[in-house]
Amino acid sequence: MKVSVRNEYGQLKSIILGRPEGATWPTGDIFFDRMLELNPYKRKITKGKVPEEVIDESRKDMLHLKDVLEDILADVPKDKIDHRITRFRKNMKLNQLDEISSPTGVKGIWKYLKKDDENSSVFSVFHKGTPVHVKAALAYNDLIKYFKQDKKYGFINDGDKIRWVYLKPNSLGLKVVAYKGYEDPPEIMNYIDEHIDHDKIYGQAMTKKLQMFYDCLDWGKPVDEEQSIERFF
pLDDT of residue 119: 58
Write the CA distances from 166 to 90, 108, 173, integer angstroms.
Answer: 17, 21, 12
Phi (first) and psi of residue 207, to 5 degrees = -55, -50
Is 4 inside a domain boundary? no
Q: Can you give the CATH number for the domain in which 137 is found?
A: 3.40.1820.10
Phi (first) and psi of residue 23, to 5 degrees = -65, 155
Task: Check: CB of residue 162 under 8 Å from CB of residue 176.
Answer: no
Q: State whether 187 and 214 are in the same domain.
A: no
Task: Look up the pTM and report it.
Answer: 0.68
Task: Check: CB of residue 103 under 8 Å from CB of residue 58.
Answer: yes
pLDDT of residue 204: 79
177 strand-pairing partners: 165
Work out the end-to-end distance of the chain between its first and last CA atoms, rounded to an integer number of angstroms.
33
Q: State whether 65 and 52 are in the same domain.
A: yes
Is 134 inside a domain boundary? yes
Is 162 inside a domain boundary? yes
Task: Check: CB of residue 205 under 8 Å from CB of residue 61.
Answer: yes
Q: State whether 191 and 218 are in the same domain.
A: no
**Which residues form the domain of 42?**
9-96+203-232
Write the CA distances from 80 to 68, 71, 75, integer angstroms.
Answer: 10, 9, 10
pLDDT tens digits in sequence order for the chain, 233 residues long: 333 333 334 445 444 544 434 444 444 445 455 544 544 433 444 444 444 444 454 466 666 777 887 787 677 899 999 999 888 888 888 888 988 888 889 998 989 988 766 656 789 888 899 999 999 999 999 999 999 999 999 999 999 999 999 999 999 999 999 999 999 999 999 999 999 999 998 887 778 778 877 876 778 888 887 654 444 33
Q: State whether 110 and 153 are in the same domain.
A: yes
Is 149 inside a domain boundary? yes
Q: State whether 156 and 217 are in the same domain.
A: no
Can you tell me the distance from the alpha carbon of 193 to that of 196, in angstroms, rounded to the nearest whole number? 6
pLDDT of residue 62: 66
Is 138 inside a domain boundary? yes
Total domain count, the chain: 2
User: What contacts 84, CB < 8 A, 6 or more positions away?
Assistant: 64, 67, 68, 71
The helix or strand, by DSSP H or E, that contains position 163, with its residue range, turns out to be strand 161-166
pLDDT of residue 210: 81
Can you tell me the distance from the alpha carbon of 30 to that of 26, in angstroms, rounded to the nearest whole number? 10
Is 20 inside a domain boundary? yes
